[in-house]
Amino acid sequence: MGEIYANITLFNGADLLAVKLGTCLMENVRKIEVRALIDSGATTLAINSEIKNQLGLFVLETRESRLADGSVENYEFVGPVEIHFKNRSSLCRAVVLPHAEEVLLGAIPLEEMDVVIDMKNQELILPPERPYVARVRV
């Protein structure tokens, strides 16, 4: 089984809110397109310090986090970050892994965007039965 990646766009969520409030133009919203490793074993979005700085994200808290290797350390959680994949989006916080080489897209935003990991074709896709409208489980 190989690794699955998807092209996503990350936006500064506060900038997007300012657009809705009429205090910012869409052309001034900070955003970045990245190739993210799909990691259903991770909880949330993980970014590095460079992306945090490019998007101008606020540090919301520092929280103890367990990494895949079992180590536990304190990491910054920043946000808000809006993730876009095709016609889907999710608003979340991101954990900052300072020197990470890859963006990780975890289970919570994947669920909120109502996307499917297609293991056969090694890609992230929209559910064939509802490609136009996301469904959220409540």
Closest to 31 (Cα-Cα) out of 13, 50, 5? 13
Model pLDDT for residues 110-124, shown as the tens digit of each residue = 999 999 999 999 999
Q: Which of 87, 80, 102, 83 is nearest to 9 (CA)?
A: 83
Q: What is the pTM of this model?
A: 0.95
**Structural domains in the chain plus CATH codes:** 5-125 (2.40.70.10)
pLDDT in tens, 49-67: 999 999 999 999 999 999 9
State the pLDDT at residue 79.
Answer: 97
- Residue 2: per-residue pLDDT: 79
Output phi, psi for 73, to 5 deg: -145, 165
Asked if 82 and 10 count as a contact pair (C-beta separation under 8 A), the reply is yes
**Cα 1 to the center of its chain, rounded Å:** 23
